[in-house]
Structure 1
Amino acid sequence: MEKELKNSMAVLHVMNLLPNLSWCCSASAENESLCAVHGDACSPRDTFCLVKADAVKPLVRALSETDAGLAEAALTALETLLTDHSTQSHATAAIVDNQGVVGILQVLEKGSLSAKSKALDLFQKIIEHTQISEPLFQKSERILIQLLHEDVLKKKVALVLRQMSIIPEQSSYF
């Protein structure tokens, strides 16, 4: 019960970071432009778009917060951008363009175990669809190799390192 309350408070904190939320399909003239991720598909009634609400950058900033629940809630929100396979490359680009890889690496380095697991899933999708800069690639390699020592995450980390061509397909980590 205490953990659920803490997670709910974290979600509320994330929502407070996004004071100027708008619906993709509202009738205002400022929302008539196409969404950078969803294009004109960003129009179903009652669908909220993080990109059009300019919520990606505040969510990325929330990843550097010390509250594990807040970082996890921000990761969960960012993951919603990646649910549609047809827009994943645009969604990952939006996250990368807003310095999302830096925030994800911070979670992988200092986050709780559950936040690290979510960050790892998000990072895997990002590197699957988008190139990251060489300095970030090297930093992520170092962090992921350190995570190989965490038994719970070992297999998932090894899969990401294999995807990055850091370790071979035939590895003892699998």
Structure 2
Amino acid sequence: SAMGIISNLPKSLQITEWLLDAEGLPIIFKFLPDGKHNGPHKNQLIENAVGAICHFTVPTNQQSQKKAAEAGVIPVLVQLLDLGTSLTKRRAAISLAQFSESSLGLSQPIQKRQAFWCFSAPPEIRCPVHRGICTVESSFCLVEAGAVEHLVMVLGEPDAGACEASLDALLTLIEGERLQSGSKVLAEAKAIAPIIKLLSAPSPRLQEKVLCSLERIFRLLEFKQKYGASAQMPLVDLTQRGNSSAKSLAAKILAHLNVLHEQSSYF
């Protein structure tokens, strides 16, 4: 189908601009579900439509991201994390991750108020991750979109691709200086335990992403104390059966957890 062809086109600025000029965004958006109809043909159409939407969500083109957000794409992508097939969930999570990569730069700083102004408006609510004012349409914020809990649910999917895409989206919340604030949001959404569970995933690439994320999260004493014990056994297992990179990362985390000496031969 034409939608399938569009979804498989390489992601490039030129193709995105071509699709925008051809009014492709509203046409593709019409094929996204209303939650009432499904079936094999419909499922494939939705998979392709969500794949096509990925053209508009690449973080290198914030103008197309903005157009997609203003069209109402983000809430539908969040809905598809619950309703879609594994491939749909994977593609929805990829787009949400791409949106989220732009959020920090688009979050509006909160202006300091004059202390003497008695009748000022109530304080604006600061995003717990991006520390500014976020909205779904202006900064594409996963927290504001209510996407975090839905992404956490996808971590339990049997499909490794969907799990990995969901993890990628969640990890945008702990990038750089957002480690502490983002980790707190992940913990509140009950994401840490499912992330630890993915240490036993069959995909080495997924395991490695989990290891990298836990290595950072466990730098925070609060999270190390609360979740470290539950990660010990799968980490020890990875030092035995993982590939060389996984063994090294697992050993590094175990050293963080004071289970393995840093002089270990696994480093």
Compute the TM-score of the two structures, normalised by the length of structure 1: 0.76
Match of 2:259 among 160, 166, 171: 166
Q: Which residue of 2 aligns with 1:29?
A: none
Q: How far is the alpha carbon of 1:83 from its aligned partner?
A: 2.0
Q: How far is the alpha carbon of 1:59 from its aligned partner?
A: 1.1
Q: Larger helix proportion, structure 1 or 2?
A: 2
Q: Which has the higher contact order (CA 8 A, sep 6+)?
A: 1
Q: In structure 2, what is the Cα distance between the partners aligned to 1:112 and 1:67?
A: 10
Number of matched pairs: 158
Q: Which residue of 2 aligns with 1:38?
A: 130
Identity of counterpart residues, as a percentage? 28
Q: Is the 8 A contact 2:94 2:169 kept in 1?
A: no
Q: How far is the alpha carbon of 1:47 from its aligned partner?
A: 3.0
Q: Is the 8 A contact 1:82 1:91 kept in 2?
A: yes
Confirm or deny that 1:11 pairs with 2:102.
no
Unaligned runs of 5+ in 1: 18-22, 27-31
Q: In structure 2, what is the Cα distance between the partners aligned to 1:25 and 1:138?
A: 36
Q: Which residue of 2 aligns with 1:138?
A: 229
Q: Is the 8 A contact 1:89 1:129 kept in 2?
A: yes
Match of 1:105 among 181, 189, 196: 196
Q: How far is the alpha carbon of 1:69 from its aligned partner?
A: 0.2
SS class of match (1:171): coil
Q: 1:157 to 1:107 in 2, by over 3 A?
A: same
Q: Is the 8 A contact 2:93 2:169 kept in 1?
A: no
Quick check: which has more Rg, 1 or 2? 2
Q: 1:80 to 1:146 in 2, by over 3 A?
A: same
Q: Which residue of 1 aligns with 2:168?
A: 76
Query: How far does the alpha carbon of each residue in 1:110-152 deviate from its partner, in whole angstroms, 9 at most, with x for none?
Result: 3411111111111112111352386742220011001112123
Unaligned runs of 5+ in 2: 1-7, 9-46, 52-86, 97-102, 109-123
Confirm or deny that 1:95 pairs with 2:165.
no
Compute the TM-score of the two structures, normalised by the length of structure 2: 0.52
For 2:228, give the aligned amino acid: F
SS class of match (1:37): coil
